[in-house]
C-alpha cells in the first residue's frame, strides 16, 4: 500500500524534534552535529534568536496579504539586495525551482522584446541541478531527472561543465539566448567552475550577446565567504537565482536581475501567491542583516580555512576512505573512495550529519556561524566516521 506521504524520498531513519545552532536533537535524545544545515538552508543554524524574533514578531502582525497590495518587508528586502549586489530589481519566490522558472521566462522574454524571439535556447551543463519543475528538469536533461516526464520543455542544450571551447562553439548558434550555470555545483558533487572559467563564461556570453544566468541557490548567501560566489571572479550576471540560505530555513527564493534583462517583465507577465510574503521577507531581512556584514563574511572565510585544513589531514590519514577535498568556503566536499553513502551512514552512527552528492562526494555545508569548537568536534567525529566506514568495508 502506498504510504500517506508519496514515497519520492529515501529518508534516513532519523526523527529530529529540535534544533539549536549546529545541533539537531533526535526524538531519542541523541544530539547530532549538523554539517548539512538542511542542504545549505539553515545558514545561521537552527533557531537563531534574531530569526526567531523576526518571524514571531511578523507572525503577530501580518502573515499574508497577497501581491495585490504593497508588502513593505518585501520592498525593504528588495532594496537591501539591490544595494548589496549587481541587481537593479528582484522578484521573490518560495524556492529555487521557482526562481529557475522565472529566470528561464525572463531570458526568453528579453529576446522576444528585443525582436529576436528565436533566441530561446539556453545552454546548461552536465552535473547541474536547478530544481524539479518541468523547466528545471529539461534544463538538466539527464534520464535520471527526465525519464517518464516527457514531453520536455524544448530549448535546452547541455554542455560539459567548465568546457569553455564547447561553450564558445555552442554560442555560435544564433538561437542561443542565455547560459545558465552554477558557479559551484552542489548536487553535482561540489564542483567549482573556478574564477578564471567564470570570467571566460561571462566574456563568451558578452561576445555572443547572450544573457548570463547564475544559479547561486546553493553557493550564494555567504557560503563562499562573499555574499555571492561570483563576486570572487569580479564578474556580474544578468540574472541570478537565489534561495536556500536567504530564508535561513523559511521558504524564500528570489530572482535578481539587471534593469536591462528584467525590463520586459512588465505587469501581468509573472506572479506568485506566496512569493515575497511578509513572513519570508521578515526572516530574509534578518538573515541578510547578519550575513552581508563584511565582518561576518570574513569569519566565514576564516572558519572555512580551519575546516578545510582539518579535512586535508583527514584525507591524508584515511586514503582508503577519502580521495580529496574540494569546494570553496563552507561549501566543501570529500570525494570518497568508499561509496559516499556508506560514509554518510557511518556518520549517523557517530551522531554526525553530512550529505551525499553526485560524483561519490560527501558534502559539508555547515551553518555559516558554526563556532570554532564545533568545527573541532566535527573533525573529531569525521575521524571516527572514517575509521568506522573503513572497518565496515574491510
Smallest separation (angstroms) from ligand PLP to the CB of 39: 6
Buried b (16+ CB within 10 A) or exposed e, 279-309: bbbbbbbbbbebbbeeebbebbeebbeebbe
DSSP 385: H
Smallest separation (angstroms) from ligand PLP to the CB of 149: 16
Which residue stretches of 17-163 are H helix? Answer: 37-40, 49-61, 72-84, 96-113, 134-140, 143-146
Gap between the Cα atoms of 317 and 319, Å rounded: 6
Smallest separation (angstroms) from ligand PLP to the CB of 375: 23
Q: Is 215 annotated as a binding residue?
A: yes
Q: Is 16 annotated as a binding residue?
A: no
Report residue 243 CA to chain centroid gap: 7
Nearer to ligand PLP, 25 or 152 (CB): 152
DSSP 29: S
Q: Is 129 annotated as a binding residue?
A: yes
Is 122:104 a contact under the CB 8 Å cutoff?
Answer: yes
Q: Is 345 annotated as a binding residue?
A: no
Smallest separation (angstroms) from ligand PLP to the CB of 390: 30
Nearer to ligand PLP, 85 or 124 (CB): 124
Nearer to ligand PLP, 210 or 243 (CB): 243
Decide: residue 220, CB within 10 A, 0-12 exposed, 13-18 middle, 19+ buried.
Answer: buried
Residues in contact with ligand PLP by the rule CB under 6 A? 39, 95-97, 100, 129-131, 182, 186-187, 215, 217-218, 243
Smallest separation (angstroms) from ligand PLP to the CB of 96: 2
Q: Is 97 annotated as a binding residue?
A: yes
User: Is residue 307 classed as helix, strand or coil in its secondary structure?
Assistant: helix
Smallest separation (angstroms) from ligand PLP to the CB of 73: 20
Nearer to ligand PLP, 46 or 130 (CB): 130
Nearer to ligand PLP, 187 or 238 (CB): 187
Contacts of 330 (CB under 8 A, 6+ apart): 223, 224, 225, 300, 303, 304, 307, 364, 365, 366, 368, 370
Q: Is 132 annotated as a binding residue?
A: yes
Contacts of 26 (CB under 8 A, 6+ apart): 14, 15, 16, 17, 32
| DSSP run (H or E) holding 34 | strand 31-34
Q: Which three cell numbers stand for residue 355?
A: 550529505
Nearer to ligand PLP, 35 or 315 (CB): 35
Nearer to ligand PLP, 208 or 283 (CB): 283
Smallest separation (angstroms) from ligand PLP to the CB of 321: 25
Annotated binding site: 96-97, 129, 132, 215-218, 272-273
Annotated binding site for N(2)-acetyl-L-ornithine: 132, 272
Annotated binding site for pyridoxal 5'-phosphate: 96-97, 129, 215-218, 273
Amino acid at each position: 500500500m502506498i504510504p500517506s506521504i508519496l514515497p519520492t524520498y529515501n529518508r534516513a531513519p532519523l526523527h529530529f524534534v529540535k534544533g539549536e545552532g549546529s545541533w539537531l536533537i533526535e526524538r531519542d535524545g541523541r544530539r547530532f552535529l549538523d554539517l548539512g544545515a538542511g542542504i545549505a538552508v539553515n545558514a545561521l543554524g537552527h533557531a537563531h534568536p534574531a530569526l526567531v524574533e523576526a518571524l514571531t514578531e511578523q507572525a503577530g502582525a501580518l502573515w499574508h496579504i497577497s501581491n495585490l497590495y504593497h508588502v513593505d518587508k518585501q520592498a525593504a528586502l528588495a532594496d537591501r539586495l539591490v544595494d548589496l549586489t549587481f541587481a537593479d530589481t528582484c522578484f521573490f519566490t518560495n524556492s529555487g525551482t521557482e526562481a529557475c522558472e522565472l529566470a528561464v521566462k525572463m531570458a526568453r522574454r528579453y529576446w522576444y522584446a528585443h525582436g529576436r524571439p528565436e533566441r530561446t535556447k539556453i545552454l546548461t551543463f552536465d552535473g547541474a541541478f536547478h530544481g524539479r519543475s518541468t523547466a528545471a528538469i529539461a534544463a538538466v536533461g539527464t534520464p535520471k531527472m527526465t525519464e517518464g516526464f516527457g514531453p520536455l520543455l524544448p530549448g535546452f542544450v547541455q554542455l560539459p561543465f567548465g568546457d569553455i571551447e564547447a561553450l564558445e562553439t555552442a554560442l555560435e548558434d544564433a538561437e542561443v539566448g542565455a547560459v545558465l550555470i552554477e558557479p559551484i555545483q552542489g548536487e553535482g558533487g561540489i564542483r567549482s567552475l573556478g574564477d578564471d572559467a567564470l570570467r571566460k563564461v561571462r566574456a563568451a556570453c558578452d561576445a555572443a550577446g547572450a544573457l548570463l544566468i547564475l544559479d547561486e541557490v546553493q553557493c550564494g548567501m555567504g557560503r563562499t565567504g562573499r555574499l555571492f560566489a561570483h563576486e570572487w571572479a569580479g564578474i556580474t550576471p544578468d540574472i541570478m537565482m537565489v534561495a536556500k540560505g536567504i530564508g535561513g530555513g523559511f521558504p524564500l527564493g528570489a530572482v535578481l536581475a539587471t534593469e536591462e534583462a528584467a525590463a520586459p517583465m512588465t505587469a501581468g507577465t509573472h506572479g506568485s501567491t506566496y512569493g515575497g510574503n511578509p513572513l519570508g521577507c521578515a526572516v530574509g531581512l534578518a538573515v541578510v542583516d547578519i550575513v552581508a556584514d563584511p565582518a561576518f563574511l570574513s569569519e566565514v572565510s576564516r572558519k572555512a580555512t580551519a575546516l578545510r585544513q582539518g579535512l586535508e589531514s583527514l584525507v591524508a590519514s584515511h586514503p582508503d576512505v577519502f580521495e580529496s577535498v574540494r569546494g570553496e568556503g563552507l561549501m566543501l566536499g570529500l570525494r570518497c573512495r568508499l561509496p559516499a553513502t556508506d560514509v554518510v551512514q557511518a556518520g549517523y552512527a557517530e551522531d554526525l550529519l553530512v550529505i551525499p552528492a553526485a560524483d561519490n562526494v560527501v558534502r559539508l555545508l555547515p551553518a555559516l556561524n558554526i563556532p570554532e569548537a564545533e568545527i573541532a568536534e566535527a573533525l573529531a567525529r569525521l575521524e571516527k566516521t572514517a575509521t568506522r566506514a573503513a572497518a565496515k568495508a574491510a
